Amino acid sequence: MNRAVIVTGASQGLGAAIASNLAVEGAAVCLVARTRKVLSVIEEGILAKGGRAMAIPADVADPEACLQIVEKSLERWGRLDALVNNAGILGPLAYTVDADPWAWLDTLKVNVMGPFHLTRAAMPLLRQCSGRIVNVSSGAAARALAGAGAYCVSKAALNHFTRILAAEEPGITSVAVRPGMVDTPMQTFLRENAPSVMPKDLADYYQKVKKQGGLEPPDVPGKSIAWLALNAPHEWSGRFLDYDDPEIAPPAGESVNGV
């Protein structure tokens, strides 16, 4: 497969799983995250298994860095077929009136403006190949989680940004996806910090899901998102999809075998 994909937030958890599954399918993967040391581990793992990968340490909140990501991808692989906007931060766990406004702004910069900057930089290349954009969203986009306002608002904005792209760019396919509750450092952070900020029933819920084994391993939604980056039908453009949708999970499990 001669296709190239940019995956942000690729140094751990869900992003690493998405990138690894794309590499197994033969795609060349540009791995983007802020920390080179951790990112290099994922790059080396893919290369050791015969895959193609390039680590690009960068902050997606920086528009110039996003331009450089796309330029480096084009220089290395000669093309760009898909963009997976996975990088995201939880933001301040605080009620709105108590929240640090600069921490809120940081969340919006990464979770909303990051996909915006990268999409603008990548669009000329994606137009050439009728490419795909997959925005990794959250169920929080449609829920009001007290104490996690910045995150909820940022993911709701990301979903609508996906719809805007579908309306403005009819030649590409743009989808958002809910990855489910994944066993990642973000969930660990929630379990550790929610009791001091969130309502007790909500904080208890995060503890309960972990104890009962309700968190998905990153590779499960990682397969679905990798499949969407390579195969999402154009008629789905603008939709907010579930990783375990019966139209996605079965073909993803068959075509992407993981590493």
As annotated, the active-site residues are 151
Residue 250 phi, psi (nearest 5): -60, -50
In terms of DSSP H, where are the helices of the chain?
Answer: 13-24, 36-48, 63-77, 101-108, 114-128, 149-168, 185-193, 200-211, 219-231, 249-255
Sign for the CA dihedral angle at 225, 226, 229, 235 comes to: negative
- Judged by DSSP in three states, 117 sits in helix
- Element spanning 25, H or E: none
CB 114 within 8 A of CB 60: yes
Over its C-alpha atoms, the chain yields an Rg (Å, rounded) of 17
Report residue 232 as tokens: 């999402």
Sign for the CA dihedral angle at 136, 141, 145, 146 comes to: positive
- Element spanning 85, H or E: strand 82-85
